[in-house]
Amino acid sequence: MKVYTTGCPRNCYSTCTMKVYVENNRLKRIESHPGNQATREGPCLKGLSYIERVHSPHRILDPLRKIGWSGEFEPISWDVALETIAERLRHYRAAFGPQSVFYYNGSGTKGLLNIVGTAFWKLYGGCTTTFGDLCWSAGLEATRLTLGENKHNAPWDIAKAKLIVLWGKNAAETNIHQMPFINEALDGGAKLIVIDPRRTESSERAQLLIQPRPGSDGAVALAIAHLLIRNDKLDGEFIDAHVHGFSEFAEMVEGMTPERASQISDVPVGYIHEIAGLIGEVKPVTINAGFGMQRYTNSGQTMRAILALLAITGNIGKPGAGWIFANLQSHIFDKVKDPIAFYPPKEPDGVVRVSVSTAKLGRDMIETDDPPLKMVWVERGNPVTQNPETDTVLEAFRSLDFRVVVEQFLTDTAREADIVLPAKTMFEQTDVINAYWHTYIQLKQKVMDPPGNVKPESEMYFRLAQRLGIPEKDIIEECIPGPTDADVEAFLKKKLEPFPELSIERLREGPVLAPGQEEVAFSDMVFQTPSGKIELVSQQAKDWWGVDPLPTYVEPEESIRQKTPESGKYPLYFLTPNTKDRIHSQFNNLDMIRDLSPAPFVEIHPEDARSRGITDRTMVRVFNERGSIELEARYDYSIKRGCVSVTNGWWISEGGTVNICSLGRETDMAHGAAFHDALVEVERAR
């Protein structure tokens, strides 16, 4: 058996390093790798399940073509598949211009080779693509506006904290490798506060679980700031030296008394005093904000308000202290980092039209004109289940002329395709990956040949470019590597060239910390903001996004406090968190995982259930004016009353995606998707 070191490229905090054992082109065993200090205990259940995923009988191993309107697919040769696509591409370019082709890529896998897609579409003559992001826009932008950069202390540094606030994060399920460090901190006497409408696996070891009304976290944060200022629990020296706009901020939060915040958020006043007391007294404080909280229409401001708590107490740039949201210190290959990288360009190049908002995918696709969209190419994504407003996304896809989806399995999106191209897995092509929690650069090694007729995307593009008559020299120059493993390695070597610490040979042995990474972020007190300080007042926030320069509290658009006809009809907040069993819509199709997680269910407080005549484990309908899904109800005695919860990522074919009930709508800043502004009603299924 041969043993390789590799890294898991999923859209996940942990980005584990692992050892894989391969025999006769089959994956036999996956083990932990001690070289990654952040994930040394071993991969999660999903990482282990690659053993099934790679060799699954349901995997797509040939190009597929839809047979008429039947919904069935038939395998075809690469020749036929590529020629069909090339013919269409030539036709659309001639008849409508290259921008009638829509290129959609998701976050399904990390890697430097992901840029090959855009390179191809430029060679083709252009395309239309998306701006914004489903995942983390508002939080990235709030952090950038406040601290200047998205980086944080090393993952293991949280063990030094004396107060940990998991604000809207359920690390036990979404970042399990953080739990040993949190546990270490607790062993050392640290306190843990969790702020979440749900009682989660992560809140189980907390002293306090604060359950605000969804979307109202900003008000809680501002009231805490109010108390810190009123009780003079500030780090005056730190504020003077490193904080911009403190006096305006102090003036603003004077109005946000704990009483008012309590009215807004449903958090009892006593609890707000208690958190403020802890944040004021204990040092160092680490606040780790999750991604869910920043998917509301007010969430950029929410995140800025929470950040301010660390700024005014001097909990930045020190061991055991700080703001954990996203650590982009390993994103060394990006000339422009997120979130700026996914904003529409100030000066469009006229080749790639960046005009479709990811958050409003369906509607923007339908409304695109001059030229209208005729064809879509989807890779690394499953927008039918994962983008807001499923019905509109489906309508947009179905109104196109031609659809190509690159996939490993027949997902809801792949089922919409005319041609499905079989995608590689992480074990079938070498690539270099970064991370957003730890700062290791890793080699995701090719450890086996792709099974069946699977080809890596780079080779698909290479062959397609050849078919379109583009000379090979131009293809390679445009950063599409040739089809051999040596070509791919040459491509990666070129990318690694500027970093002498990072050679392919060195990375083959194990992960390497990104050059220049800081264990304690901002310890130099350099903040890349316009003022060079931590900005509580941000003119850029106003100029770019039209929000108040101060992190004021604004009620989300879809809220029971907005007295609209809808808020009366749909009184329940629809929470759609992630689960340990999936990365979004990946993994639950595997038998191993399905055995643990057989079907979707909605968690509901028994009192909310009873008033609707719903009993435990009976079928119910969750709905609003956008759509409805039917699933089983489960009592959860600790979920905040007025909230119901279904984990996201289920396919329509598995029982229904939660996005049937969400609306395509952007966050207050950074073109994020505000899926979590969602109200529903639940009733017994008929």
Partner 1 sequence: MQKGFLFDVNKCTGCSACQIACAIENELPIGMAWRRINTFNAARIPGIPVFHHSRACYHCLDPPCMKYCPALAYSKDPVTGAVTIDKELCIGCKYCSWVCPYDAPQFDPVAEVMEKCTFCEHRLSVGEDPVCVSLCPTGALGIADDNLQDGNRNTLGFPDSGAKPAIQFVDLREERSFPRASGSGGTGLSVSVGDDRKTTRDRKISLSNEWSLVVFTLIAAWMTGYLTATVVSTVRIDPALFLTAGVAGFLLSTLHIGRKRRAHRAMLNWRQSWLSREVILFPLFLAAATLYLIGVPHLSSVGWMCAGIGFAALFAMDRLYGVTGARGLNQHSGQVVLVGLFVAGLIARDVPTVVTLAVLRLILYAIGKHHLRTHRGNPRWALSLTRVFIGLVVPTAVVAFEFERFFVYAVVGAAVGELIDRCEYYMDMEIPTPRGQMSNDLAMAIAGLDPTGQSARRVTE
The footprint of partner 1 (CB under 8 A) covers: 29-32, 41-45, 48-49, 51, 172-173, 176-177, 179-180, 183, 186, 194, 197, 199, 201-211, 266-268, 271, 580-581, 591-592, 595-596, 605-607, 615-617, 634-641
Cα-based torsion angle of the residue sequence 296, 195, 641, 299 in order, rounded to the nearest 10 degrees: -10
Cβ-contact 644, 574 below 8 angstroms:
yes
By beta-carbon proximity to partner 1, the closer residue of 287 and 590 is 590
- Taking the complex as a whole, the smallest distance from the CB of residue 206 to partner 1 amounts, in Å, to 4
- Taking the complex as a whole, the smallest distance from the CB of residue 679 to partner 1 amounts, in Å, to 18
Both tokens assigned to 568: 């009366």
List Cβ<8 Å contacts ≥24 apart for 482-485: 483/455, 483/458, 483/459, 485/430, 485/446
- Taking the complex as a whole, the smallest distance from the CB of residue 642 to partner 1 amounts, in Å, to 8
- Taking the complex as a whole, the smallest distance from the CB of residue 140 to partner 1 amounts, in Å, to 27
CA angle, corner 514, sides to 381 and 317, nearest 5? 100
Both tokens assigned to 309: 């708590």
By beta-carbon proximity to partner 1, the closer residue of 126 and 290 is 290
By beta-carbon proximity to partner 1, the closer residue of 271 and 522 is 271
How far apart, in whole angstroms, are the C-alpha atoms of residue 472 and residue 458?
A: 14
HEC-encoded secondary structure of 173-196: HHCHHHHHHHHHHHHCCCEEEEEC
- Taking the complex as a whole, the smallest distance from the CB of residue 646 to partner 1 amounts, in Å, to 16
- Taking the complex as a whole, the smallest distance from the CB of residue 462 to partner 1 amounts, in Å, to 35
How far apart, in whole angstroms, are the C-alpha atoms of residue 199 and residue 636?
A: 9
Residue (of 396, 430, 342, 363) closest to 378 by Cα position: 396
How far apart, in whole angstroms, are the C-alpha atoms of residue 180 and residue 178?
A: 6
By beta-carbon proximity to partner 1, the closer residue of 425 and 430 is 425
By beta-carbon proximity to partner 1, the closer residue of 127 and 267 is 267
By beta-carbon proximity to partner 1, the closer residue of 370 and 595 is 595
How far apart, in whole angstroms, are the C-alpha atoms of residue 568 and residue 266?
A: 18
By beta-carbon proximity to partner 1, the closer residue of 333 and 635 is 635
Both tokens assigned to 513: 């910390």
By beta-carbon proximity to partner 1, the closer residue of 198 and 380 is 198
By beta-carbon proximity to partner 1, the closer residue of 178 and 330 is 178
- Taking the complex as a whole, the smallest distance from the CB of residue 528 to partner 1 amounts, in Å, to 35
Which residues, 6+ apart, have CB-to-CB distance to 470 below 8 Å?
123
Q: 432: part of which helix (H) or strand (E)?
A: strand 431-433
Residue (of 143, 133, 145) closest to 542 by Cα position: 145
- Taking the complex as a whole, the smallest distance from the CB of residue 438 to partner 1 amounts, in Å, to 15
By beta-carbon proximity to partner 1, the closer residue of 212 and 280 is 212
By beta-carbon proximity to partner 1, the closer residue of 390 and 442 is 442
- Taking the complex as a whole, the smallest distance from the CB of residue 272 to partner 1 amounts, in Å, to 9
Residue (of 648, 652, 47) closest to 291 by Cα position: 648
CA angle, corner 396, sides to 391 and 398, nearest 5? 95
- Taking the complex as a whole, the smallest distance from the CB of residue 617 to partner 1 amounts, in Å, to 5
Q: Which residue has the tokens 């007294």?
A: 281
By beta-carbon proximity to partner 1, the closer residue of 348 and 598 is 598
Which residues, 6+ apart, have CB-to-CB distance to 408 below 8 Å?
53, 59, 60, 422, 423, 425
By beta-carbon proximity to partner 1, the closer residue of 209 and 253 is 209
Length of the chain: 686
- Taking the complex as a whole, the smallest distance from the CB of residue 170 to partner 1 amounts, in Å, to 10
List Cβ<8 Å contacts ≥24 apart for 633-636: 633/601, 633/602, 633/604, 633/609, 633/682, 634/601, 634/602, 634/603, 634/604, 635/603, 635/604, 635/605, 635/606, 635/609, 636/198, 636/199, 636/603, 636/604, 636/605
By beta-carbon proximity to partner 1, the closer residue of 309 and 417 is 309
- Taking the complex as a whole, the smallest distance from the CB of residue 52 to partner 1 amounts, in Å, to 8
Q: What is the dihedral sign for C-alpha 242, 244, 250, 252?
A: negative
- Taking the complex as a whole, the smallest distance from the CB of residue 490 to partner 1 amounts, in Å, to 35
Cβ-contact 672, 643 below 8 angstroms:
no
- Taking the complex as a whole, the smallest distance from the CB of residue 3 to partner 1 amounts, in Å, to 14
Helix/strand/coil for 671: coil
Strand pairing class (572-575; 534-535): unpaired
How far apart, in whole angstroms, are the C-alpha atoms of residue 158 and residue 663?
A: 36
